[in-house]
């Protein structure tokens, strides 16, 4: 899809300094992910990945009720084997793109995060939820299974037992319960959610951009490796960061007792 941010139908983009706020904007359908929304998100994240002015991305949902209430059930209801697989692959490609983005991505879960909505949030680096949010993978109640990465990312995040309870019951949980099992990093009053999310995102953006990208890569790639291979990866990435002007600037700034001035390129 050619990218023209003024022509997005179901997604909006706002920039606040070095933060980009991506809002899934189909409130009449509780921001459910139809094909257009997935394609627009994919395109937008690809653009944000290469936009040097963007230091971190926050994803949220329009309206007060939902973050994203899942994949669009109207679309799912019509699918057969081949388009079902293709649908899952499109959702997986989007969530992989987010997970591998070269900058931090935070989810501001302002309401229902169900099915594909929770899977979208699971691909983010950090999740904050409104105290009113409900989170779950209700796919089995619709006679399907999660298809945008939920069966893989949820157990890696919260452990197999908690993940299987959520997946096999299909029951949503409260934000407080999500915090208890480690599914979200923090819970806030709805009116505070975006401010808190932006405050954490700004802390991240105040750090070295290459350091953020490589630290994220070390964690994201490392979790799939043995400890020995992960440590090798970390040492390699440490070598790479040690060759950068960013490292020289970070060290000099500390020794000269001044704030580092990062170059974004």
139 is catalytic: yes
Say what angle helices 245-255 and 209-222 make with each other, to 10 degrees: 120
CB 120 within 8 A of CB 69: no
Between CA 8 and CA 4 the distance in angstroms is 7
Least spacing, CB of residue 172 vs ligand COA, in Å: 8
Which one is catalytic: 119, 176, 234, 256? Answer: 119
Tell whether residue 114 is a contact of ligand COA (CB under 6 A): yes
Among 21, 44, 54, 71, binds ligand COA (CB under 6 A): 71
Between CA 209 and CA 213 the distance in angstroms is 6
Region of 84-92, 108-116, 181-189, 202-210 interacting with ligand COA (CB under 6 A): 108-116
Tell whether residue 202 is a contact of ligand COA (CB under 6 A): no
Which one is catalytic: 40, 99, 139, 192? Answer: 139
Q: Which is nearer to ligand COA, 27 or 222 (CB)?
A: 27
Tell whether residue 154 is a contact of ligand COA (CB under 6 A): no
Region of 51-59, 135-143, 161-169, 245-253 interacting with ligand COA (CB under 6 A): 135-143
Q: How many CB atoms lie within 10 A of CB 144?
A: 16
Of residues 35 through 54, those in contact with ligand COA by CB under 6 A are none
Least spacing, CB of residue 155 vs ligand COA, in Å: 18
Among 32, 106, 108, 183, binds ligand COA (CB under 6 A): 32
176 is catalytic: no
Least spacing, CB of residue 47 vs ligand COA, in Å: 26
Least spacing, CB of residue 84 vs ligand COA, in Å: 12
Cβ neighbors of 81 (< 8 A, separation 6 or more) are none
Among 42, 119, 139, 246, binds ligand COA (CB under 6 A): 139
Per rule CB under 6 A, count of chain residues that contact ligand COA: 16
Among 69, 122, 126, 178, binds ligand COA (CB under 6 A): 69
Cβ neighbors of 99 (< 8 A, separation 6 or more) are 123, 124, 220
CB 77 within 8 A of CB 33: no
Among 12, 25, 29, 200, binds ligand COA (CB under 6 A): 29
- Active-site positions? 119, 139
Contacting residues toward ligand COA, per CB under 6 A = 29-30, 32, 69-74, 112, 114-116, 138-139, 142
């Amino acid at each position: 899809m050619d990218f023209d941010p003024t022509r997005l139908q179901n997604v909006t983009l706002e920039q606040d300094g070095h933060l980009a706020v991506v809002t899934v904007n189909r409130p009449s359908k509780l921001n459910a992910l139809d094909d257009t929304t997935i394609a627009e998100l994919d395109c937008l994240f690809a653009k944000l990945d290469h936009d040097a002015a963007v230091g971190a991305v926050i994803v949220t949902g329009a309206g007060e009720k939902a973050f994203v209430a899942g994949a669009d059930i109207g679309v799912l209801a019509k699918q057969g084997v081949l388009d079902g697989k293709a649908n899952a692959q499109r959702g997986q490609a989007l969530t992989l793109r987010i997970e591998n983005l070269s900058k931090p991505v935070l989810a501001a879960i302002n309401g229902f995060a169900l099915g594909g909505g929770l899977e979208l949030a699971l691909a983010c680096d950090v999740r904050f939820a409104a105290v009113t949010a409900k989170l779950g993978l209700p796919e089995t109640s619709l006679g399907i299974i999660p298809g945008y990465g939920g069966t893989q990312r949820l157990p890696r995040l919260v452990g197999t037992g908690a993940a299987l309870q959520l997946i096999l019951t299909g029951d949503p949980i409260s934000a407080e319960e999500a915090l208890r099992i480690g599914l979200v990093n923090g819970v806030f009053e709805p009116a505070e959610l975006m401010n808190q999310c932006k405050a954490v995102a700004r802390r991240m953006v105040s750090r070295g951009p290459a350091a953020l990208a490589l630290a994220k890569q070390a964690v994201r790639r490392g979790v799939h490796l043995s400890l020995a291979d992960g440590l090798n990866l970390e040492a390699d990435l440490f070598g790479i960061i040690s060759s950068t002007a960013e490292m020289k600037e970070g060290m000099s700034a500390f020794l000269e007792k001044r704030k580092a001035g990062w170059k974004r390129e």
